[in-house]
C-alpha cells in the first residue's frame, strides 16, 4: 500500500479498514469511513512531503498522524453505534499506551498494511450532515506491509434452512483461509418472491421468508468469484 502526499485526503469509501479488539482478539470492520488524511511532520531531504512507504517515518523517526473521517453509522432504532466506530470511540477515551490500537488498511486492489496507533481524539465534525465524525490517530512504531492472500473458498455455516412465511433468521458464512486479503463479496437471490436478504454485514446476513417455495442465495467473493450457496425452504 502506497502512501499519499502529506496532508492530502484520500477517498477510502472502497477500502476495508479494521481494528483489532484487544479484549476478543478479533478484527472489527470500521464502517462509514470516507476519507483518510495522513500527515508527516516534516519534509524529506528532496523537499517533498510525501512518501511511497508507510514504514519510512519510523526509519527517519518522524511522527505521523492519520485522520479518519466519515459518517456516524449504526442502528437508529436501538441507538447502537457501528462496532468499529464504537471501538475507536472507546480507545479515544483511554490514556497513554492504553489507547494503543492496531489498525489494518486494505485498499480496493488488496494492498494491505497494519500499524499501531494511539487514538488521540474522537469528535463530531461540521460537514454536509450533523452525522459527520472524525478520529485522530498517531502512528506508533513501524507499519507492516501484509502479503496478498487469495480467497480459496467461501463456506456457509448451514447449506439449507427452513422458515415459515414471515419468519427471519440470520445466516452466517466464512472465508477460507481466515486471513484472506480481499473479504469483499456480493449476495444474490434466485427466487426473490420466496426469500429476501437484508442487514448484510461482516460474514452474515438476514433471510426473510416471503412466500411458500424454495429459493437459493449465493455469496460470491469479489476475489476469485468463489461461491457459497444457501437453500431456503419457505413453508406456510
Check residues 52 and 144 and name the one with the higher pLDDT: 144
Question: Does residue 135 register a pLDDT over 90?
Answer: yes
Q: Which residues pair with 218 in a beta bridge?
A: 188, 229
User: Is the pTM above the cut of 0.85?
Assistant: no
Number of residues in the chain = 236
Interval 186-234: pLDDT, tens: 999 999 999 999 988 778 899 999 999 999 999 999 877 899 999 999 9
Interval 45-55: pLDDT, tens: 444 444 444 54
Question: Does residue 99 register a pLDDT over 70?
Answer: yes
- Helix H, strand E, coil C: the string for the chain is CCCCCCCCEEECCCCEEEEECCCCCCEEECCCEEEEEEEECCCCCCCCCCCCCCCHHHHHCCCEEEEEEEECCEECCCCEECHHHHHHHHHHCCCHHHHEEEEEEECCCCCEEEEEEEEEEEEECCCCCCCEEEEEEEEEEEEEEECCCCCCEEEECCCEEEEECCCEEEEEEEEECCCCCCCCEEEEEECCCCEEEEEEECCEEEEEECCCEEEEEEEEECCCCCEEEEEEEEEC
Question: Does residue 74 register a pLDDT over 80?
Answer: no
> Cα-Cα-Cα-Cα dihedral of 232, 193, 197, 12, to 10°?
140
- Confirm if 146 and 181 have CB atoms less than 8 A apart: yes
Domains observed in the chain: 9-146 (4.10.410), 153-235 (2.60.40.1080)
**Spacing of C-alpha 15 from chain mean position:** 7
Amino acid at each position: 500500500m502506497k502512501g499519499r502526499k502529506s496532508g492530502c485526503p484520500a477517498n477510502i469509501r472502497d477500502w476495508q479498514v479494521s481494528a483489532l479488539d484487544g479484549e476478543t482478539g478479533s478484527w472489527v470492520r470500521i464502517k462509514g469511513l470516507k476519507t483518510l488524511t495522513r500527515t508527516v511532520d516534516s519534509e524529506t531531504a528532496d523537499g517533498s512531503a510525501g512518501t511511497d512507504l508507510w514504514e519510512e517515518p519510523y526509519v527517519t523517526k518522524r511522527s505521523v498522524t492519520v485522520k479518519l473521517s466519515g459518517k456516524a453509522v449504526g442502528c437508529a432504532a436501538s441507538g447502537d453505534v457501528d462496532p468499529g466506530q464504537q471501538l475507536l470511540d472507546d480507545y479515544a477515551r483511554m490514556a497513554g499506551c492504553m489507547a494503543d490500537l492496531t489498525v489494518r488498511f486494505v485498499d480496493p486492489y488488496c494492498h494491505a498494511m497494519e500499524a499501531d496507533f494511539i487514538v488521540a481524539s474522537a469528535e463530531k465534525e461540521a460537514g454536509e450532515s450533523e452525522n459527520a465524525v472524525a478520529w485522530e490517530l498517531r502512528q506508533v512504531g513501524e507499519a507492516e506491509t501484509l502479503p496478498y492472500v487469495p480467497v480459496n473458498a467461501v463456506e456457509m455455516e448451514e447449506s439449507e434452512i427452513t422458515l415459515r412465511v414471515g419468519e427471519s433468521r440470520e445466516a452466517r458464512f466464512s472465508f477460507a483461509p481466515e486471513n484472506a486479503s480481499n473479504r469483499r463479496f456480493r449476495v444474490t437471490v434466485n427466487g426473490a418472491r420466496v426469500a429476501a436478504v437484508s442487514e448484510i454485514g461482516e460474514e452474515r446476513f438476514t433471510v426473510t421468508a416471503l412466500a411458500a417455495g424454495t429459493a437459493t442465495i449465493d455469496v460470491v467473493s469479489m476475489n476469485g468469484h468463489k461461491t457459497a450457496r444457501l437453500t431456503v425452504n419457505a413453508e406456510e
